[in-house]
Structure 1
């Protein structure tokens, strides 16, 4: 009998290290979409805070910390990344398990903004896009969620079906930034 083994869609191609920059996969316990019902935004945020210690974020922001984050992903919705969300929150918001739909990467190192500038139209300048900022945009031709987690690090969420393509695109950009640095 064949024994099936669960694997990451980027198994064997990450981690990547190029010229001091690293691309690694982050595998949270769960990713849950939270969309508060009309008029339930405050109640959902309070309940979420009581459950995981982080409430609903303002647009283009995140709350919480590594291991228990709530990331804005669009008008009236956020993703809880890390802990399993207690079903009691469903009285205030629609909950959808998104764990198998997304892959999360961490891109870190000096020059991380230079790498991402080749792939997204977002202004990721440290004076504009600060720690805790979040945005939904494009990574190349793929939909992505960007989260600044440190002065030199971003977490990037990509649809699982595009994960290998995302790694390829980021690797090319990392190599291009490294080549440019070698010429300086």
Structure 2
């Protein structure tokens, strides 16, 4: 009987470096969509408390160790790398549907501003900020950590996102090399 081997969405592609920028894959253990039922916000807050997390405000995310909760839309968040059971919310396992990329290094904001219709300078998009925004033609969730940007895209679009981000990385590195 053949054995199946689980592979990440970007297996074999990462990391790549152009100039000061590095692009890699973030392997997520789990992604759980969390949507509190009407009037159940306090019950959801109580369920999240043992994890050291709270439901995020719009356009934000929070980390507690390797756990993360990120706002993904009105009354919806993704709980990453954690397990939660509560009758106060609709819970949907999204683990196999998403891929996550990390872009880090000086100029990461400049590279991504060529692809996103957002001001990603640190003064406008500080660490802890998240946005549900189009990465060119792909739906994505963009997060700024203390040291990098993390971009979640549908697993089926992971390689397209990889190539989209690699382009500005190369152009910025070439511009820096000339200067």
Could you state the TM-score of these two structures normalised by the residue count of structure 2?
A: 0.95
Partner of 1:130: 126
Deviation at 1:42, TM superposition (A): 2.5
Write the mapping of 1:82-101 to structure 2, written as runs, cut at 5 A: 82-85=81-84, 87=85, 89=86, 91-101=87-97
Deviation sequence 1:138-172 (CA, Å, 0-9, x none) = 1121000011111x411110000000101011111
- Judged with a 3 Å threshold, the aligned counterparts in structure 2 of structure 1 residues 65 and 181 are, in CA distance, closer, same or farther, namely farther
List runs of 5+ in structure 2 lacking aligned partners: none
For residue 95 of structure 2, give the secondary structure of its aligned residue in structure 1.
Answer: coil
Partner of 1:32: 32
Partner of 1:106: 102
List runs of 5+ in structure 1 lacking aligned partners: none
Is contact 1:136–1:143 with CA below 8 Å preserved after alignment? yes
Query: Which range moved further: 39-48 or 102-111?
Result: 39-48
Q: For 1:40 and 1:173, locate their aligned partners in 2 and report how far apart those are by CA, in whole Å.
A: 44
Q: For 2:9 and 2:124, locate their aligned partners in 1 and report how far apart those are by CA, in whole Å.
A: 32
Is contact 1:33–1:96 with CA below 8 Å preserved after alignment? yes
For residue 100 of structure 1, give the secondary structure of its aligned residue in structure 2.
Answer: helix
Partner of 2:63: 64
Is contact 1:68–1:80 with CA below 8 Å preserved after alignment? yes
What's the RMSD between the two structures over aligned residues?
Answer: 1.2
Deviation at 1:64, TM superposition (A): 2.4
For residue 111 of structure 2, give the secondary structure of its aligned residue in structure 1.
Answer: helix
Aligned: 1:175 with 2:170:
yes
For residue 129 of structure 1, give the secondary structure of its aligned residue in structure 2.
Answer: coil
Is contact 2:52–2:64 with CA below 8 Å preserved after alignment? no
For residue 33 of structure 1, give the secondary structure of its aligned residue in structure 2.
Answer: strand
Partner of 2:140: 144
Partner of 2:152: 157
Is contact 1:34–1:78 with CA below 8 Å preserved after alignment? yes
